Copies of this chain bind each other. A is one copy, B any other.
Amino acid sequence: MSRSAHPAGPRHADVLPDPPPAPPQADANALDPAIWPVTACRDGGVLHLGGAAVPDLVGRHGTPALFLDEADLRARARAFATAAAGVDVFYAGKAFLCTTVATWVAQEGLGLDVCTGGELAVARAAGFPPERIALHGNNKAVGELQHAVLAGVGRVVLDSFEEIRRAADVASAAGIRQPVLVRVTVGVEAHTHEFIATAHEDQKFGFSLRDGAAEEAVAAVLDSPALELAGLHSHIGSQIFDTAGFEVAAGRVVSLAARIRDLHGIEIPEIDLGGGFGIAYVAGDDPEPPRQTVERLVGIVAQECARAGLPVPRIAIEPGRAIVGPAMVTVYEVGTVKPVELDHGMVRTYVSVDGGMSDNIRTALYDAQYTCVLAGRESDAAAVLCRVVGKHCESGDIVVRDAWLPGDVRPGDLLAVAATGAYCRSMASNYNHVPRPPVVAVRDGADTVILRRETVEDLLRLDAGVDRG
């Protein structure tokens, strides 16, 4: 059943008891290490992140705010980068990107995926080594291609025949031979523990393997003197907990590589298997550690290449969420607490916080689930079923759909929501003219603003009718 949030979408009355909320965990104050950043702990009942007490952080930075555990992010990045030889790891900037994070992932030895001129501008402002940058996207503007080619990005992932021609023209005009990957639509789609494999795929990305478009695209690249075929790319889904889908995808990509060898007498230097590696949002989510995922993928490609009689190429992967997702925590202040009696006698306690769908659209957009705790204190009060909602004028403005919080939750409490590093701040809006929250890095007790809080003045900056005299 859809739980779409709104207008002409399903009514909220329809979407109530499905699925039944998970039972409360034994201790509403506990911090599940699978979900919270590595430095998260309670000291004197108070949540600490990066060695700093959250109430102190809030005293300096206000609420809502996102706190980024530098040690957690760097450890995950390093785990991917060092898991296996012959694997290139590109951080997927779309999950969250600013110059500081770009610098950290560069220091940890990763490359960077960008998919627009804007993301490329951030990478350039960070001084990211261009040869370790990949440009993605299904509809790159000519200006974006020019920007990337002239900057010397290491690879451009090509997505359509128009784009092959455009990239060839741009590289040719620049007098550059541009390494490119061909994005292949392999007919595999994976989420959590499931995947499906079909012949055709109803989506915008890539060249279909089945209808011959992928083979044709490779031929077109090989025919373009200004383009260098650096590899094949596929991407099968997101929030994936199991590598079975990658087996099918890798098998199909390797088959294509074998046909290319037979047709053109060349070996594909690299196979990029994309990203989509899952993280834990709520109890029961069971992602593999990065090292294990990488080892499995290396094994899969080696096995498929052996079967096809091909030497094993370099492998590339593109984790975004799996690096930044668990490293951030959003802290809100509770403004109102409202117990609402429901038709079937149950009571749901609505806990309103000072942010909402403008800083985290994932709950409304993807029915995403989150875990939250009181950050400023512990409580022995029995847990009650809560819905954490934002301050926006919309009934679908939900941050955590089902949360068991201590029954004495009250206005003024600080509430911390875990695993908000990916696709929260990066998709944030100014809906209701709410300024976007800052991102503050925490490490060894020190806190550093890496994205400052927006102000109302920032919001008015675009308004042509505002008197700036």
- Interface size on A (CB < 8 Å)? 121
Given known pairs A2-B1, A433-B116, the reply for A137 and B366 (CB within 8 Å) is no
Which among A77-85, A167-175, A259-267, A456-464 touches the partner chain?
A: A456-464
A111 to nearest B CB, angstroms?
16
What 0/1 readout, one digit per residue, does chain A (190-211) give for beta carbons within 8 Å of chain B?
Answer: 0110101011111111001011
Q: Give the residue of B194, B203, B459 whose beta carbon is less than 8 angstroms from that of A395.
A: B203
Q: A116-B391, A125-B466, A204-B395 are in contact. List 16 more A-B contacts (CB 8 A).
A: A7-B368, A8-B238, A9-B367, A11-B191, A117-B456, A118-B434, A125-B460, A125-B467, A139-B354, A200-B342, A204-B338, A204-B350, A210-B341, A364-B365, A451-B462, A458-B462
Q: Are A3 and B6 in contact (CB under 8 A)?
A: no
Given known pairs A202-B342, A365-B364, the reply for A126 and B465 (CB within 8 Å) is yes
Q: Are A391 and B7 in contact (CB under 8 A)?
A: no
Given known pairs A191-B8, A202-B12, the reply for A462 and B454 (CB within 8 Å) is yes
Q: Give the residue of B16, B194, B462 whose beta carbon is less than 8 angstroms from that of A452.
A: B462
List A residues 107-163 near B (Cβ within 8 Å): 115-119, 121-122, 125-126, 136-141, 159-160, 162-163
A307 to nearest B CB, angstroms?
26
A14 to nearest B CB, angstroms?
8
A246 to nearest B CB, angstroms?
16
Q: Are A389 and B340 in contact (CB under 8 A)?
A: no
Q: Does A94 count as interface, using CB distance less than 8 angstroms?
A: yes
A126–B464 alpha-carbon span in the complex (Å): 11
Q: Are A198 and B162 in contact (CB under 8 A)?
A: no
Is chain A's interface secondary structure helix, strand, loop, or mixed overall?
Answer: loop
Contacting residues, chain B, for A115 (C-beta < 8 A): 392-393, 432
Q: Give the residue of B4, B278, B342 whose beta carbon is less than 8 angstroms from that of A367.
A: B4
Kindly name the residue among A140, A278, A341, A451 whose own CB sees the greatest number of chain B CB atoms within 10 A: A341
A408–B166 alpha-carbon span in the complex (Å): 20
Q: Does A31 count as interface, using CB distance less than 8 angstroms?
A: no
